[in-house]
Structure 1
Amino acid sequence: MNALAGAPRLAVVEVTAHRPDQPAYHAKVQTLVGRVLSDARQGGWQVSRHAAADVTLAALLEATADADGIVIVGGEDLAPHFYGGQGGYEGETRHYPAADEGQIAVVRRALAEQTPLLGICRGLQVINVALGGTVDQHIGDGGIHRNAFVPIEQVLATHAVTLHDDSRLAGIHGGSTILVESAHHQAVARVGVGLVPAAVAPDGIIEALEHVSAPIIGVQWHPEAPGAAAHHLPLLLQALGEQVAAESVAA
C-alpha cells in the first residue's frame, strides 16, 4: 500500500483524549496510540483518530462510517454492566461507559458490514463483550501478564504466547510461538458468539480471539509497545489491509 489519495482509510478508536487526573497513564497511552498511528501511515493508510468517550454515540458512528478498517486500542476496564458483572473488584480502574457503548457499537457494525477490525488489549475485551462474551475481572498481580506495583513506564511484561496452528494469527506471524508485551489485569472469560481462541499464554489465559467468518481479530498483548518486536504491529496492519482488499474484491 502507499499513502496516495485513494489509499484505504483506517479509523483508530481510543477511549478518551483527556485524562487530566492521570497524566502518567495518559502519557503512556499516547505513546502506544501514537505508534499505531505512525505505523499505519507508514503502511499507506489514511488514518483518522477518534476518542469514543468524548463524542456522542451517533457522532462516533458517523465519523467512522466510511472507514475501510478499524483499530480499537487499549485503555481502561469496561464498565461491568456491559457484560453482566459487578463493580468493586480488585484492581478496578476508572470506567468510561460512553466509550464502552460507542466501541461496542463500532464492533457490532463492523461485524454486520464485514469491515476488517483489529482490537488491541482493551480492544480484545470490547470485541468479546460486544458479541456476548464476559470478562475475568482480575487475574491477579503475581502472574506474567503485567508488572504490578511499579511506575507506569515499567508496567509492560514480556512473555510467550502460543498461536493456534489453524489461526489467522499463526499465518500472519509465520510461526506458532511469539514473545509479546502485555499489561493487563483482566482476561477473556466466556468467549463471545462467533469468536474462537487464537492464542494462549503459558498459564492458559486466552491471548487472542478471531471471528469464525468476519475479518475481526483481537489480541490481548500490545504489539505497539516500544519493547515489542518491531515487525509485529506492521504485520497485523498489513493483514488488516489485505482483508480490506479482499472484502473490496468480494463486494
Structure 2
Amino acid sequence: MSARPLVALAASAEPVGGVPHLAVREVYVQALERVSGCAVAVVGGPAPDLAELLGRFDGVVFGGHETDVEPTRYGDPPRSGPADPARDELALRVLPAALLAGVPVLGICRGLQELNVALGGTLRDLPGDEHREDLSLPRDRQYLPAHEVHLSEGGVLRQLLGYASVPVNSLHHQAIDRLAPDLRVEAVAADGVVEAASAGDAFCLAVQWHPEWYAGTDPVSTAIFHGFGVAARLAARRRAQGLPLPRPMSSIGMNN
C-alpha cells in the first residue's frame, strides 16, 4: 500500500504561560487525516527554506486563526489588534511559491485572506455582525450553517459540489476587498462578500468559512477535504514516479 501524501499545515504563534508556542487546532489535523487521507506535518515560525518545504510536501494548508494579516502587508495603515508577523511571513512567501511549483493548496478563513494578500489583493473590515459567530452559542453551534453562498459557474467548487448554491457557516470579521489579479471568485454571499477563490490549473482553493469543524459529516465540507486529498495523492504519485509537478503558473503577482 502506498504511503499517505504528506501535507504541511501552517501553525500560528500562541503564548502559553508567557512562553511562545506554535499551535494548530486539532480539528484541522483530524480533517486532513481522516477525510483527505493525508499525513500532516505542522510548519511554523520563521518561513523555512522554500525549496526544501515544497520539495518535501505534497500539499500545503493554511487554516484559520484569531489573528489578522497585518494591514501594512497590503498597503493599509497599521492598527492595533491581534497579529502574527511570523505567520504572515510564512504565508506570503510559501503560497506564491506553491502556486509556481504546482503544489496543491487549501486555504481556510485566514488562509483565503492570506492567499489574496500574497498575490497582491487587499482586505477590508466588515460592518455589523452579519458574518460573525454568535459567541453566546456553544462552540459546536457556532460552526453550523449560517447563510448560503452562490457558486461560480464552471468553478472548482461548482464541479466538486454539483450545486449552484450551498449553506456555509460564518465566523469572520474581515473579507477580501480588492481581489488579487490571479485569483478567480469561486463563491459569493448575498451581500457580495467573496466567500471562496481559486488560482491556476492545479488544485488551489481557499474558502472564507470553516469546513474543518464538520468535515466528516457535512457534505460540503467533506467534498472540499476529499478534493484536496485527491490532489495531494496525485502530487505524491508524481513524485514517487520521479515526474515533476505541473507548473500551471509561470508568473504571479506577489505582494512581498
TM-score bracket, normalised by the shorter chain, equals 0.7 to 0.9
Matched residue SS, 2:69:
coil
Give, in whole Å, the separation in 1 of the partners of 2:138 and 2:89: 27
* 2:252 equivalent in structure 1: none
Q: CA deviation at 1:60?
A: 7.8
- Shift of residue 123 of structure 1? 0.1
Aligned to 2:41: 48
Give the counterpart letter for 2:4 in structure 1: A
Determine if contact 1:119/1:217 at 8 Å carries over to the other structure.
yes
Q: Deviations over 1:38-86 (max 9, x none)?
A: 1221242111122x3xx22236874564110111000111011111112
Number of equivalences? 232
Distance 1:183 1:14, change over 3 A: same
**Greater per-residue helix proportion:** 1
2:250 maps to none
Partner of 1:185: 173
Larger RCO, structures 1/2 (Cα 8 Å, 6+ apart) = 2
Scaled by the length of structure 2, what TM-score is found? 0.79
Q: Deviations over 1:135-156 (max 9, x none)?
A: 01x112232x113664783655
Q: Which residue of 2 aligns with 1:20?
A: 16
The counterpart of 2:210, out of the listed 222, 227, 235, is 222
Equivalent of residue 82 in structure 2, options 67, 78, 94: 94
* Residue 34 of structure 2 corresponds to residue 37 of structure 1: no
Q: Is the 8 A contact 1:180 1:229 kept in 2?
A: no
Q: Distance in 2 between matches of 1:15 and 1:95?
A: 10
Q: Secondary structure at the match of 2:26?
A: helix
User: Gaps (5+ residues) in structure 1?
Assistant: none
> Quick one: percent identity of the two aligned structures?
29
Kindly tell me: are residues 227 and 195 of structure 1, through their superposed partners in 2, closer, same or farther at Cα, counting changes over 3 Å? closer
Deviations 1:139-195 (A, max 9, x none): 12232x113664783655611111112111111112111111121110001111211
**Structure 1 partner of 2:101:** 113
Equivalent residue, structure 1, for 2:112:
124
Aligned Cα RMSD in Å? 2.9
**1:71 matches 2:61:** yes
Structure 1 runs of 4+ aligned residues shifted over 4 Å read: 59-65, 148-152, 154-157, 226-229
CA–CA separation in structure 2 for the residues paired with 1:148 and 1:83: 29
- Aligned to 1:125, the other structure's residue is in SS state helix
Q: Report the 3-state secondary structure (helix = DSSP H, G, I; strand = E; otherwise coil) of the residue aligned with 1:141.
A: coil
Q: 1:204 to 1:38 in 2, by over 3 A?
A: same
Letter of the structure 2 residue corresponding to residue 35 of structure 1: V
